[in-house]
Structure 1
Amino acid sequence: MRDLRLDQLDSFRQVIALGSFSAAAERLGLSQPAVSLQIRELERRLGTVLIERVGRRAQPTAAGTELLDHAGRIEAAVAAAQEAMARHATGAMGRVRIGTGATACIFLLPPVLRELRQQHPTLEITVSTGNTSDIVKAIEDNQIDIGLVSLPAAGRALDVTPLLEDEFAVIAPPGMELPARLTPEAMARLPVLLFEPGGITRRIADEWFARAGVTLKPVMSLGSVEAIKRLVGAGLGCAILPGMAVYGENDGLVVRALTPRVHRTLGLVLRKDKPLHRGLRETLKALRALGTLG
């Protein structure tokens, strides 16, 4: 099977598609004896008859029908490989897979991705969202190239670089009466919406209350910052959110700082042994430009 030739498979597919050795030869720019020889050699290599004549038309045998399905997939795989190599040969940027949280995806990445797209039109970028633990696992499994996540993130195979700090804030609907200092004790007396449990954003908020000995039961927990902002705007309560989601994009809501202040650290995560092709280098450069730490 290691001697299986693509030109023989192509001739086989053309004969079946056109129902004729002579028609296949004309399409391929070969002589009919050359096509017949290719099919005989293919049958010899595989040890079975692939084509039979039914009347005047060439049709596949049972083995030929099965090979035809494989040949189609082989042709598609070869075409995909050629396209991928062509991108390298022509200096195209390749593909970069980014993993991040939903908040950073909405409020931090768009201008970075826009600039990358403008400067490098051939760069293919895919973005997936999830919790830090899920993204780190995907990086370790080489399913994602770069993670922009809330720290901490740890792993012996990982390169972790703190990038920026994002201070949490309280948002409230206009007209809602808020205390002068938004301490854990004061917030516990208000209707509060939080992110759903399971992620670092919720854990930071829970730990902020716990350090003050306060147990908060939120009126609602949601997994979407936009949903939380809309519900706050509808008057269902106030919310504690990452600052990047509210400063500058508060939708007319009241924005106040917490006391004591609390923040999360965002960082870049990738494998230490990750080969840095040109597209990946340019993406890392653009993301590092966001940094305010170090």
Structure 2
Amino acid sequence: MQRLNLNHLHTFAHVIRHGSFSAAAERLNLTQPAVSLHIRQLEQRLNLRLIERVGKRIKATSAGSTLLEHIGRIDAVVEDALLDLASHAQGVAGQIAIGTGATACIHLLPPILQTLRRQFPALDVRVSTGNTDGILRAVEENRLDLALVTLPAAGRSLSITPLLDDEFVAIFSAEQKTLPPAITPQSLETLPLVVFEAGSSTRLLIDEWYLRAGLRIKPVMELGSIEAIKEMVAAGLGYSIVPRMSVAAAHHRRGLQVQPLTPPLSRTLGIVLRQDKPLGKALRQVLEALQTLAP
């Protein structure tokens, strides 16, 4: 279906406002035949009479009056759109949607988002959390602009760039008096384990660490929240293996002892985009901010 021509609507509004084709033509800097053509094409497009003559003046028909009401709203929407686009042209503005895991959301993104908010007040960065598969699907479907996820990640239409490595550590309650001299899978085998829920990319890495030692873990708790895991461990209900970033700051390791693993275990976080994703000013700025996380 052919769309309405905004110029035709504008011309019609001027004809009714000024009461004649000639007056409208003068205001619009058009010829009178051009104004008549706009009105004729608009009426043909709508298959309605929009103008009628009353004596020497013209007025809108009932259909024309209804159209005038809509033209006012159309003009307002167009004006809003132009203002929004002007802000994009003048600087960094718009909305960027990021998907990531809960740990990165809590422990990596806040200072970056705070800096972006301070530097670019018109930039609206929105963050959602979920499992890696769901986040990647949302990027592929363009419901998310980018993702920060644990690698490996795959998708035929995706561009995946490693960003940083994050070591895993073992955490114990601060009240626990004796710890193994080396934190190995064998030394942890008989201790109660509080761990990430099955199916998460982080849990898969932890499972593999034990499997390489020939062990299968039997957790006493499987939780979806890193903060819940730390609370359970601090309460003396077991030990856990978590990304170091989650206990890097003093206030995030309160009530906990942190120990390195033998052999070491780490994960790689990467940035994921659609390969055909246009890199506008706003998205480029967010990507540059995330790149500051790289060592």
Match of residue 147 from structure 1: 147
Residue 93 (str. 1) matches residue 93 (str. 2): yes
Distance verdict in 2 for CA 1:277–1:133, change over 3 Å? same
Query: Highest Rg: 1 or 2?
Result: 2
In the TM superposition, what whole-angstrom CA distance separates every residue of 1:93-128 from its partner, at most 9, and x where no partner exists? 332221111100100111111112222222221111
**Which secondary structure does the structure 2 equivalent of 1:212 belong to?**
coil
> For 1:176-191, what aligned pairs fall within 5 Å after superposition?
176=176, 177-191=178-192
Distance verdict in 2 for CA 1:255–1:81, change over 3 Å? same
**Which secondary structure does the structure 1 equivalent of 2:222 belong to?**
strand
C-alpha separation in 2, matches of 1:201 and 1:209: 13
**Worse overlay, 212-221 or 176-185:** 176-185
C-alpha separation in 1, matches of 2:163 and 2:91: 30
**Aligned partner of 1:260 among 263, 270, 283:** 263
C-alpha separation in 2, matches of 1:101 and 1:68: 50
Question: What is the TM-score with the length of structure 1 in the denominator?
Answer: 0.76
What's the CA shift for 1:72? 10
Match of residue 46 from structure 2: 46
In the TM superposition, what whole-angstrom CA distance separates every residue of 1:169-215 from its partner, at most 9, and x where no partner exists? 11111222322222112222111101111111000111111111111
Question: AA paired with 1:247?
Answer: A
Contact preservation (8 Å) 2:175, 2:236: no
Gaps of 5+ in 1: 13-23, 51-59
Distance verdict in 2 for CA 1:68–1:33, change over 3 Å? closer
Contact preservation (8 Å) 1:139, 1:146: yes
C-alpha separation in 1, matches of 2:102 and 2:132: 11
In the TM superposition, what whole-angstrom CA distance separates every residue of 1:14-43 from its partner, at most 9, and x where no partner exists? xxxxxxxxxx99xxx924679xx9999977
Match of residue 281 from structure 1: 284
**Which secondary structure does the structure 1 equivalent of 2:17 belong to?**
coil
Match of residue 272 from structure 1: 275
**Which secondary structure does the structure 2 equivalent of 1:116 belong to?**
helix
C-alpha separation in 2, matches of 1:175 and 1:5: 74
Give the fraction of aligned pairs with identical amino acids, expressed as a percent: 51
Distance verdict in 2 for CA 1:74–1:136, change over 3 Å? farther
> For 1:189-268, what aligned pairs fall within 5 Å after superposition?
189-248=190-249, 249-268=252-271
Contact preservation (8 Å) 1:174, 1:254: yes
C-alpha separation in 2, matches of 1:200 and 1:43: 61
**Worse overlay, 216-225 or 78-87:** 78-87
Distance verdict in 2 for CA 1:163–1:41, change over 3 Å? closer
Question: AA paired with 1:199?
Answer: S
Question: What is the TM-score with the length of structure 2 in the denominator?
Answer: 0.76
Contact preservation (8 Å) 1:161, 1:269: yes
CA RMSD, Structure 1 to Structure 2 (Å): 3.6
C-alpha separation in 1, matches of 2:205 and 2:72: 52
Distance verdict in 2 for CA 1:79–1:109, change over 3 Å? same
**Which secondary structure does the structure 2 equivalent of 1:142 belong to?**
coil
Question: AA paired with 2:255?
Answer: G
C-alpha separation in 1, matches of 2:87 and 2:215: 57
